[in-house]
Amino acid sequence: MSANSNSRETDPFRARLASGKPLLCDGAMGTMFYARGVFINRCYDELNLSEPQLVRDLHEEYLAAGAEVIETNTFGANSVRLKRFDLQSKVAQINTAGVHLARAAADLYREKHAHQALVAGSIGPLGAPAGSLNPDAMQAVYAEQAAALASAGVDLFLIETATSLAEALAAVHAAHASAPNVPVVAMITVTDSGSMADGTTPEQAVAALQDAGVVIVGCNCSDGPNLVLQTLERMRGSTTLPLAAMPNAGVPNCVDGRSIYLSSPEYLGSFARKAARLGALLVGGCCGTTPAHIKAMRSSLRAIQAQAEGLQATSTAPTAPPVEPAPLGQRSRLGARIASGEFVAMVEIVPPRGIDCSKELAGARLLRDMGVHAINVPDSPRASARMSAGSLCVQLERECGGEHGVETVLHFTCRDRNLLGIQSDLLGAASLGLRNVLCLTGDPPKMGSYPDATAVFDVDAVGLTRIARDLNHGLDLGGQPIGQSTGFVLACAANPGVPDLDAEVRRFAAKVEAGAEFAITQPVFDLHQLEDFLRRIESFRIPVVAGIWPLTSVKNALFMRNDLKVHMPDEIIDRMGRCTTPEASREEGVRIAQEMLAVVRDSVQGVQVSAPFGRYELAAKVMANVLSPPNTQEAQLAEHV
């Protein structure tokens, strides 16, 4: 393909953009070369000539992971950068080879999968000292590279990691001059200050690049996904052009002498969803990203597309008017307690790793006899492989429920189910009589013992809450009637101890708007954080149940602080550290939890106490002062129902 074969009416890139569906680009090449033993003192662009099979193999890996656009291995293939390796005379040869290798991989992929992948000509910064080249000189350098890329047949130019506006504009002008009909995408990179290295703001860059004729403007690299999203938000307010977003995998950390990028594939998958919702039509990865990251991003973008197509398919279909669910107090005994303002007591029982749940049933009987109102059942916490939460809930209610028994709160996550599975399992739960549901996003598989397991995450906790709310109104995913209300009492999670409380408050507000009727917090050890959170949500507050965890040892406390990133005050660490025996440690943990419960009781509507390592008696001890015999509970409750 030559540059002249492209036209504004027929080029495949513009045709794909016209569909409005995000295109997924590939990830880092340099990171992958380094992982395969190619040291950083090599010229990675020259590998197009000396190691062509390696380059092609990486292209094919990204295509297999789901990339729809692959970049040529030519990021630094301009004469200024190549001069460092005495390769400045091979600009045309290296760029041409880069296009041919990417095209060969794309053609093979099309033969196997009947799906076209596009080839983007990668053009990176010159790497010359600031001010050493005037605009004409910069444009001349870029023109040599752009001409070679266009002649070899790229579908688009991808100008990336621009640190100065002058260089970015020089590259855009050179690309247009070399091949007027090849579309140009330009992406800047920003520093922690939020601006380019030369001081240009994203708003200024957008205006100049749009005037220069690019078809997409965006941000890549920078200090990870969060900064790229912030930049996209600023760009969105200054242009109607589609956006491009390709972050690196976060700031690298030095681990055993190596630079390691710590942003997980799941985190990049979440980023892809957020970028697409901001209007990004070209999404991919930069430094530190791998085919695993691209695969996770592909899953996220497919989920967004599926939801959009589903909404479009049903938007013109007739829908039944929603039914009105029963009042909260009539849907479950827990709902009645919450509706009446009664203080509720819950304990968490984790499903077993096998099929024998006799220990869990015995614990539930103990808690029932102590007067606990509800048992929370997590859905494979920390991505562990366990009995399904729904199965344990049914067995607990069958064995320990009844008129004076306990109810369960089913933890329901988005990790393992697509949209169809979510609706199917929720309908099944309602049919089995499970009425209390805690809507959660779920821990990613990377946290668990099976890190290669595939996560779904078609929606997050907010989307899940909306789905359950609609089922409560008798409507399925497409707004079609299901006959009657599922009658769920819907709960959401909250975490008062996160570093970014502003973001947590915004997310909590979204959950309330989506239909959450009460909230359960993560374990809280700093009561000032809980008080601050409650104050911040006062204008849209729903009943809040505080999570409390009775520590069992100083090791347990340190694990929660260091591994789980739970805010653990030094005072608590010191108290647990002064214990000299396991029994003393457990007793001190119970005392700390009782003290916290005493303080928060008047400001929340209930407490959820965890049972560490299956020690249900510890949870019961924590709540001894707030529990009453079951017969007394029911007599009190009858007055409100």
Angle at 48 between CA 42 and CA 49, to 5 degrees: 90
- List, in sequence order, every residue forming a beta bridge with 118; answer none if it has no partner: 69
Given a cut of 80, whether residue 216 has pLDDT beyond it is yes
Are 438 and 493 within 8 A, CB to CB? yes
Residues belonging to the binding site for Zn(2+) are 221, 286-287
How confident is the model at residue 163, as a pLDDT?
Answer: 94
Burial track 262-290 (b if 16+ CB lie within 10 A, e otherwise): ebbbbbbbbbbbbbbeebbbbbbbbbbbb
How confident is the model at residue 47, as a pLDDT?
Answer: 97
Summarised one tens digit per residue, pLDDT across range 517-554 is: 999 999 889 999 999 999 999 999 999 999 999 999 99
Residues belonging to the binding site are 221, 286-287
Sign of the dihedral through C-alpha 39, 44, 46, 51: positive
**What 3-state class would DSSP assign to 487?**
coil
- pLDDT band, very low/low/confident/very high, at 409 (cuts 50, 70, 90): very high
How confident is the model at residue 177, as a pLDDT?
Answer: 96
How confident is the model at residue 380, as a pLDDT?
Answer: 83
Average pLDDT of span 206-212 = 95
Share of the chain above pLDDT 70, in %: 89
CA distance linking residue 328 with residue 335, whole number of Å = 5
Average pLDDT of span 247-265 = 59
**What 3-state class would DSSP assign to 24?**
strand
Are 285 and 248 within 8 A, CB to CB? yes
> 380: which residues sit within 8 A by CB, 6+ positions away?
351, 386, 389, 413, 415, 416, 442, 443, 448
Average pLDDT of span 234-263 = 72
The one-letter code for the residue type at 478 is G
How confident is the model at residue 424, as a pLDDT?
Answer: 95
Average pLDDT of span 477-492 = 91
| Residue with token string 């805010």 | 567
Structure tokens at 183: 């579309």
Given a cut of 50, whether residue 640 has pLDDT beyond it is no
- pLDDT band, very low/low/confident/very high, at 639 (cuts 50, 70, 90): very low
How confident is the model at residue 615, as a pLDDT?
Answer: 84
CA distance linking residue 376 with residue 636, whole number of Å = 23
CA distance linking residue 232 with residue 615, whole number of Å = 48
- pLDDT band, very low/low/confident/very high, at 459 (cuts 50, 70, 90): confident
Angle at 171 between CA 165 and CA 175, to 5 degrees: 145
Name the helix (H) or strand (E) containing 492. Answer: strand 489-494
Name the helix (H) or strand (E) containing 493. Answer: strand 489-494
Q: What is the DSSP letter of 326?
A: P
Structure tokens at 569: 């005050």
Name the helix (H) or strand (E) containing 476. Answer: none
Domain covering 3-219, topology: TIM Barrel (3.20.20)
- pTM for this structure? 0.60
How confident is the model at residue 251, as a pLDDT?
Answer: 59
How confident is the model at residue 72, as a pLDDT?
Answer: 98
Sign of the dihedral through C-alpha 289, 291, 292, 296: positive
The one-letter code for the residue type at 187 is M
Are 304 and 273 within 8 A, CB to CB? yes
Average pLDDT over the chain, rounded to an integer: 87
Share of the chain above pLDDT 90, in %: 62
How confident is the model at residue 214, as a pLDDT?
Answer: 97
Domain extents in the chain: 3-219, 328-638
Looking at domain 328-638, its CATH class is alpha beta
Better-scored residue on pLDDT, 281 or 623: 281
Are 160 and 148 within 8 A, CB to CB? no
Average pLDDT of span 164-170 = 96
**What 3-state class would DSSP assign to 612?**
helix
**What 3-state class would DSSP assign to 483?**
coil
- pLDDT band, very low/low/confident/very high, at 260 (cuts 50, 70, 90): very low
The one-letter code for the residue type at 452 is D
Q: How far is CA 314 from CA 236, 310, 465, 471, in A?
A: 29, 6, 20, 16
How confident is the model at residue 3, as a pLDDT?
Answer: 40
Given a cut of 70, whether residue 247 has pLDDT beyond it is yes
Better-scored residue on pLDDT, 288 or 136: 136
Across 64-78, 212-226, 299-313, 448-462, the highest mean pLDDT is recorded for 64-78
How confident is the model at residue 381, as a pLDDT?
Answer: 81
Do the domains spanning 3-219 and 328-638 agree at the CATH topology level?
A: yes
Angle at 584 between CA 582 and CA 587, to 5 degrees: 110
Summarised one tens digit per residue, pLDDT across range 348-401 is: 999 999 999 999 999 999 899 888 999 999 998 877 888 999 999 999 999 887
How confident is the model at residue 150, as a pLDDT?
Answer: 97
Average pLDDT of span 212-220 = 96
Structure tokens at 167: 């260089």
Kind of pairing between the strands at 253-255 and 258-260: antiparallel
Given a cut of 90, whether residue 402 has pLDDT beyond it is no
How confident is the model at residue 202, as a pLDDT?
Answer: 95
Average pLDDT of span 196-220 = 95
How confident is the model at residue 636, as a pLDDT?
Answer: 40
- pLDDT band, very low/low/confident/very high, at 305 (cuts 50, 70, 90): low
Among 633, 436, 414, smallest CA distance to 543 is for 436
| Residue with token string 């990668």 | 122
- List, in sequence order, every residue forming a beta bridge with 156; answer none if it has no partner: 120
How confident is the model at residue 314, as a pLDDT?
Answer: 42
Burial track 486-497 (b if 16+ CB lie within 10 A, e otherwise): bbbbbbbbbbbb
- For the chain, percent helix, then strand, then coil, each to nearest 5? 50, 15, 35
Structure tokens at 508: 């909590």
Helix boundaries (H) for 381-460: 389-400, 419-431
Better-scored residue on pLDDT, 581 or 634: 581
> 107: which residues sit within 8 A by CB, 6+ positions away?
none
